[in-house]
């Protein structure tokens, strides 16, 4: 039996796709900032749009539209919906 251990991150969501936060990879200050934004496990997030330059990407997190760079969004693990 082969389980592909493949973890999706916020950065990998397509525009318009939703996901549920499963865990955070960041530590320390970065982690606290993400938590404060409401990115606690179980939160539903939606990828809304990308900047014309490709980065950052805007996500709907608990009712607010927040833009994050890929450095940060790639450290947030989600289960795509």
Partner 1 sequence: MGLTYQSSGKGALREDYLSCNVKGDYVIALAGNPNTGKSTVFNALTGLKQHTGNWPGKTVVQALGNYKHGQKQITLVDLPGTYSLLANSPEEQVARDFICFAEPDATVVVVDATCLERNLNLVLQVLEITSRSIVCLNLMDEARRKKISIDVPALANKLGVPVIPTAARNGEGLTLLKDTINLVAAGTIELNPRRLVYDAKLEAAILELAGELEPLLPPQINRRWIALRLIDGDYTVIDGISKFLEKKLIKEDFAS
Partner 2 sequence: MTQPVEYGGLNQIVKKAAEYGRTQGEGVRDQIVSHIYGEAEKLAATVVTCSNERTDWDRKIDNIITSRFFGYPLMLALLGAVFWVTISGANVPSEMLANLLFGIEDWLSSLFIGAGAPGWLHGVVVLGTYRGLAWVVSVMLPPMAIFFPIFTLLEDLGYLPRVAFNLDHAFKRVGAHGKQALTMSMGFGCNAAGVIAARIIDSPRERLIAILTNNFVPCNGRFPALIAISIIFVAGGVFSAYGTLAASAMVVAMILVGISVTLAVSWLLSKTLLKGEPSSFTLELPPYRKPQIIPVIVRSLFDRTAFVLARAVAVAAPAGALTWIFANIYIGDLSIIGHVAGWLEPFGRAIGLDGIIILAFILGLPANEIVVPIMIMGYLSAGSMLEFDSLLAFRELLLSQNWTLLTALNFMLFSLLHFPCGTTLLTIHKETGSLKWTVLAAVIPTIIAILVCFSITQGVRLFNLL
Instruction: Return residues touching partner 2 (CB under 8 A).
Output: 27, 30-33, 35-38, 40-43, 48-56, 58, 62, 64-69, 71-72
Q: What is the dihedral of CA 9, 58, 54, 56, to 10 degrees?
A: -80
Q: Among residues 33, 44, 49, 69, which is the contact residue for partner 1, using CB under 8 A?
A: 33
Distance in Å from the first CA to the final CA of the chain: 24
Give the max Cα distance, the chain. Answer: 43
Quick check: 7 binds partner 1 (CB under 8 A)?
A: no
Quick check: 29 binds partner 1 (CB under 8 A)?
A: yes
Characterize the bridge pairing of strands 18-24 and 8-9: unpaired
Nearer to partner 1, 43 or 70 (CB): 43
Q: Which does 65 bind (CB under 5 to 8 A by kind): partner 1, partner 2, none?
A: partner 2
């Amino acid at each position: 039996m082969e389980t592909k251990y493949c973890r999706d991150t916020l950065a990998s969501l397509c525009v318009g796709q939703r996901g549920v936060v499963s865990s955070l990879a960041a530590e320390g200050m970065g982690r606290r900032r993400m938590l404060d934004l409401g990115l606690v496990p179980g939160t539903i997030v939606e990828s809304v749009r990308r900047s014309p330059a490709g980065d950052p990407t805007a996500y709907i997190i608990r009712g607010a539209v927040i833009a994050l760079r890929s450095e940060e969004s790639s450290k947030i693990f989600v289960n795509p919906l």
